[in-house]
Structure 1
Amino acid sequence: MISDTSCNLASLDPYVPSAENPWNVSKINHLYRRVAFGATKTQVIDALNQNNPSALVDFLIDEAIALVPGAAPEWAFWNRDQFEAAEMANEDNDINFYQDEGKRQMIYDFLQNGLRDRLTLFWSNHFVTEDQSYRSPAYQYQYYNLLQFHALGDFRQFVYDIGISSAMLVYLNGDENTRDRPNENYARELYELFTLGVDNGYNENDIIETAKAITGWVETNDIPWGPITFNPGQFSNDTKDIFGQTANFGYYGLGSPDDVIAHLFTQRETLVANYICGKLYTYFVSPTCNEGIVAEMAQTFITNNFQIAPVLRQLFKSEHFFDQEAIGAIIKSPIDLFATHFKQLNFESPPTLASLNSLLGRTTTIGQEVLNPIDVEGWQGDEDWISPDYLIGRWEGVQNIINTFYAQNQTQFGDFLNGLPIGTLADGFVNNTLQGEQVNIVVKAILDYFLPRGLEDQTLFDEALAIFKEFYPENYYEPDAVAPILWTLDLSGVPDQFYALLSHIDELPEFQLK
């Protein structure tokens, strides 16, 4: 495995391509693997031709900001009676059916969109809820819609809105938080997991008093799985002491100085900014945090009134993000592994229902069921994704994608191979003019395309080359020899060669990295 980025000493200054540090396929795929779920061949070629990483980052962020949340399904605001009536009409349409519809939509969005949905996944593992806990498919949709809406926006408003979302109210018992019996679950996680970090700038009294400030969001009007609204009669209408200041704190809206969320961001802005930027850094750059870089990001966060997009622009454009030490420094999550490979193969666009079900099932099997993290702390990621039990599932899942693609699309598979930007990836030749000994250039181009740093070890490269070449006699690769035919990309057996190489790549440790 490649080491983490603890040796990454590059700054947050914008990366400008040079002869010594060129803009290339490795950096383009690095950007797309981190901020989206891989790049198509067209995106790689366009980015190479543009040769302007900062402009590409601006485009990806602007595109994400402009993308509206997905359309609401017909059941987006149903209550439990309506779901039960639907099941009575069709026994296959039970609660799990609708929850899986929501999960498939999320997988679909990963494959069709970019940064907005990468961040939606990130925030779902930050503001954690578990849909198997609150059960309502409507709450699931409303929560997911909220994640998409705020993905790159105002983090303060995000915190405010997520706290009174139905999914979160039920998940952390906010719907039981009354003036006579304050429930501290959400208040504790608000500080410990969502804004400040464990034991960082708050004490037990702050939790107790904050729980009182967010009482009252308990009104259901006796409609199971219906809207949960504020009941002023259940609000603790007393003075509270939070962060050493007293007021009748409550959920009044961020324009009020007595709003408990506004108070948090006023009194603890540096701590909040450092904590959130630290999480963004470890997710997008490296599991080992560079505190100096994070501090600079945090200042950008504060300066821009806790808008998320400016922090990401600064980070993704930087020399630090594109430094060689950052490339291949993170272990792929199950979603990264399958969705990115699916997209880089240009398997299906748009994906079919069968493919969505397959991807959902396989990511769930090896530990990452979307909208249902393992607990309130979420998936811890990186090395936790690799275990003896999960590793076999990772290999088999990627191989299944390759097998299905090859079995269903042998002609398309050949088109995919010839369509790869090998002529752009490997200097000195164009796709269909190479022959003979240039096979090593093709193999290197493919390895560089699917592995973050290619294969730097010559022995490992020679092994991959031998697997690719074994389909034809050695003299096919010797242009100076007398042979009935020389190897080219047009030979009928070339798709089989690439199938063997991709199957080999699947099992390489380097393939588990992004």
Structure 2
Amino acid sequence: MMPTDTSCNVATLSIYTPSSSNPWNKQKVNHLYRRIGFGASSSMMTEALTKTPSSLVDQLVQEALDLVPTAAPRWGYWVRDQFLRSSTTPPEYKRIWKTQIIDDLSKNNLRDRLTLFWSNHFVTEELVYQSPAYMFQYYNLLQLHALGNFKAFVKDIGLSSAMLVYLNGFESTKNDPNENYARELYELFTLGVDNGYDQNDIIETSRALTGWNKEDKRWGPILFDTDNFDDGTKTIFGQTGNWGYDDVIDILFTQRTDQIAKFICKKLYRYFISPNSNETIINQLATTFVDNDFEIAPVMKQLFKSEHFFDEKSIGVIIKSPIDIQVSFLKELDFKFASSFNVNSIVRGGSINLGQDVMNPIDVAGWQGDTDWIDSSSLTTRWDLISRYLSAAWVHNQEQFRTIAKEIIEGNSNDVELVSRSIMDYFFSRELVSETDYSQALVIFKDQVPENYFEDGTWDLDWDTAPRQVFQLLKFLIKIPEFQLK
């Protein structure tokens, strides 16, 4: 068959209503939480099943809207001299904040999922702007607008200090306008490559964006300098006037409304649903986006409540990112570790090793994701990293392996095949196609327990070997290819 970029999922955006043939069950709850957040603990799963899918999505979206941004650290607005006087170096402050970001992500909600998404859309690279304070302020802005109004988001992000330095707005003056931000504003942030603009629009826009280069102290706020602003007449998208920064955003969203909506909704679709697009669904989401004046929340509600989202063809079709595979698995296990085992720091380091350093994407286009996340080398690194978490949890408290098994099957059982298969299915997006994997898992799960103990009902999850059996099963299932999918 010829490869295609079109999704085979033909389900609609009608609200998903569970039925006997299409039930609301653990598989679908896990699917929702792995996409809308970063996995669900057993208690979250139990609570979710008491709600309708639609009411749960409403709740999760509202919770995200109600969240306030993470509190500023004491150094969140420091200038360079203050950092230099501190006993902690700027790189150390940045490491501290990146660990805080991992902690935010692990709290499992749509706001933090979208914060990560937008950091890979409105890309900056911390190695370019250097300032830990700029990193915090940029991240704060991503959280603030993550589920809010996209036009306001675009307007604010372009004036963030991190972005002004990263895409050279800080260097752009009336005598020497820099085109970098103007180009990426259209190409990467709102319209897409060669979609509704030309080189003259970029040139004229760059003139309108001049003047944001007044910095009284290094790493301090970057302010507008009237003397450096090009106050001549510019023509952008056929509109002529003495345009400035705010005018550019207003003209863009007025003259290119549909193009913006479709570009952003396609990007959201490919991130939350499938790497392969469904143009009909994307166009309908774009209509919702425009009808709601570019508010993001209504689009998220429509998407996550839909039959299209919960269709089998949307489940298990996205390769987990380095952050996904760690944070979601840890959330679903809900294991405890020794205090000396700094989970957030290890997750951050593991993500870096696997190519996803938060706040520092590979280039201005960001991580492309999906198949780019895995090759023969990174796959074995993923196995080793997840195995490390399991081993650390085992050393700290073996009983929690028995506990997770009982939570998954909702009690105790002496049916070894049921227990083994239930644990396997819990950590996969859908049932495995190959029965061989289940058979191999069962052999491993039985470990060295005498076969007659399973046959006569002697064995159950209270048996003294059960924690080790669960531990061995988990070590096995993380190496099955489907574990890499969500």
Q: Which TM-score band (shorter chain)?
A: over 0.9
Q: Does 1:251 align with 2:245?
A: yes
Structure 1 residues 268 and 353, CA gap change in structure 2 (3 angstroms)? farther
Structure 1 residues 349 and 47, CA gap change in structure 2 (3 angstroms)? farther
SS in structure 2 opposite 1:246? strand
Shift of 1:129: 0.3
- In structure 1, distance between residues paired with 2:232 and 2:103: 47
SS in structure 1 opposite 2:224? coil
Match of 2:408 among 409, 412, 421: 421
Aligned residues of 1:131 and 1:372 also touching (Cα < 8 A): yes
Which residue in the other structure is 2:274 paired with? 286
- In structure 1, distance between residues paired with 2:441 and 2:60: 34
- In structure 1, distance between residues paired with 2:12 and 2:448: 47
AA at the equivalent of 2:461: L
Match of 2:224 among 215, 219, 230: 230
- In structure 2, distance between residues paired with 1:153 and 1:323: 27
Shift of 1:439: 1.1
Which residue in the other structure is 1:502 paired with? 474
Q: Does 1:213 align with 2:213?
A: no
Which residue in the other structure is 1:55 paired with? 55
Structure 1 residues 5 and 344, CA gap change in structure 2 (3 angstroms)? farther
Aligned residues of 1:6 and 1:288 also touching (Cα < 8 A): yes
SS in structure 2 opposite 1:296? helix
Q: Does 1:164 align with 2:159?
A: yes
Structure 1 residues 353 and 472, CA gap change in structure 2 (3 angstroms)? closer
Shift of 1:411: 2.6
Count of equivalent residues: 483
- In structure 1, distance between residues paired with 2:483 and 2:458: 31
- Bigger shift: residues 105-114 or 280-289: 105-114
Which residue in the other structure is 1:255 paired with? none
Aligned residues of 1:111 and 1:339 also touching (Cα < 8 A): yes
Q: Does 1:76 align with 2:76?
A: yes
Shift of 1:416: 2.8
Shift of 1:353: 7.3
Match of 1:116 among 92, 104, 111: 111
- In structure 2, distance between residues paired with 1:39 and 1:194: 31
Aligned residues of 2:336 and 2:393 also touching (Cα < 8 A): no
Structure 1 residues 162 and 414, CA gap change in structure 2 (3 angstroms)? same
- In structure 1, distance between residues paired with 2:337 and 2:289: 36
Which residue in the other structure is 2:129 paired with? 134
SS in structure 2 opposite 1:32? helix
- In structure 2, distance between residues paired with 1:77 and 1:302: 35
Aligned residues of 1:471 and 1:497 also touching (Cα < 8 A): no
After TM superposition, the score normalised by the length of structure 2 is 0.97
Which residue in the other structure is 1:466 paired with? 443
Shift of 1:6: 2.1
- In structure 2, distance between residues paired with 1:202 and 1:335: 35
Which residue in the other structure is 1:450 paired with? 427
Shift of 1:234: 0.7
Match of 2:234 among 223, 232, 240: 240
Which residue in the other structure is 1:198 paired with? 193
Q: Does 1:409 align with 2:397?
A: yes
- In structure 1, distance between residues paired with 2:371 and 2:253: 33
AA at the equivalent of 2:276: T
The root-mean-square deviation of aligned C-alpha atoms, in Å, is 1.5
Which residue in the other structure is 1:476 paired with? 453
- In structure 1, distance between residues paired with 2:225 and 2:337: 47
Aligned residues of 2:337 and 2:396 also touching (Cα < 8 A): no
- In structure 2, distance between residues paired with 1:511 and 1:180: 55
- In structure 2, distance between residues paired with 1:350 and 1:272: 48
Which residue in the other structure is 2:459 paired with? 487
Query: Map of 1:77-96 to 2, 5 A cutoff?
Result: 77-86=77-86, 90=87, 93-96=88-91
AA at the equivalent of 1:441: L
After TM superposition, the score normalised by the length of structure 1 is 0.92
SS in structure 2 opposite 1:241? strand
Shift of 1:321: 0.2
SS in structure 2 opposite 1:507? coil
AA at the equivalent of 1:449: Y
CA-to-aligned-CA distance 1:470-504 (integer Å, 9 cap, x gap): 3311111113xxxxx71100001101111111001
Shift of 1:351: 8.9
Which residue in the other structure is 1:427 paired with? none
SS in structure 1 opposite 2:73? coil
CA-to-aligned-CA distance 1:95-132 (integer Å, 9 cap, x gap): 11100111011100011241100000000000000111
Which residue in the other structure is 2:92 paired with? 97
Aligned residues of 1:5 and 1:325 also touching (Cα < 8 A): no
Which residue in the other structure is 1:393 paired with? 381
CA-to-aligned-CA distance 1:64-112 (integer Å, 9 cap, x gap): 00000000000000011000000xxx2xx11111001110111000112
Structure 1 residues 66 and 372, CA gap change in structure 2 (3 angstroms)? same
- In structure 2, distance between residues paired with 1:352 and 1:195: 44
Shift of 1:4: 9.1
Structure 1 residues 265 and 467, CA gap change in structure 2 (3 angstroms)? same
Match of 2:304 among 300, 309, 316: 316
- In structure 2, distance between residues paired with 1:23 and 1:260: 46
- In structure 2, distance between residues paired with 1:445 and 1:17: 21
- In structure 2, distance between residues paired with 1:58 and 1:71: 25
- Bigger shift: residues 109-118 or 280-289: 109-118
Which residue in the other structure is 1:482 paired with? none
Q: Show structure 1 runs of 5+ residues with no match.
A: 253-258, 424-430, 480-484
Aligned residues of 1:174 and 1:215 also touching (Cα < 8 A): yes
- In structure 2, distance between residues paired with 1:446 and 1:5: 33
- In structure 2, distance between residues paired with 1:353 and 1:374: 29
AA at the equivalent of 1:486: T
Shift of 1:342: 1.0
CA-to-aligned-CA distance 1:231-288 (integer Å, 9 cap, x gap): 1111110111111221111123xxxxxx110110000000000000000000000000
Structure 1 residues 336 and 300, CA gap change in structure 2 (3 angstroms)? same
- In structure 1, distance between residues paired with 2:338 and 2:171: 43
Shift of 1:417: 2.7
Shift of 1:414: 2.6
- In structure 2, distance between residues paired with 1:458 and 1:354: 38
- In structure 2, distance between residues paired with 1:128 and 1:352: 34
- Bigger shift: residues 167-176 or 382-391: 382-391
- In structure 2, distance between residues paired with 1:266 and 1:354: 49
SS in structure 2 opposite 1:64? helix
Structure 1 residues 352 and 136, CA gap change in structure 2 (3 angstroms)? farther
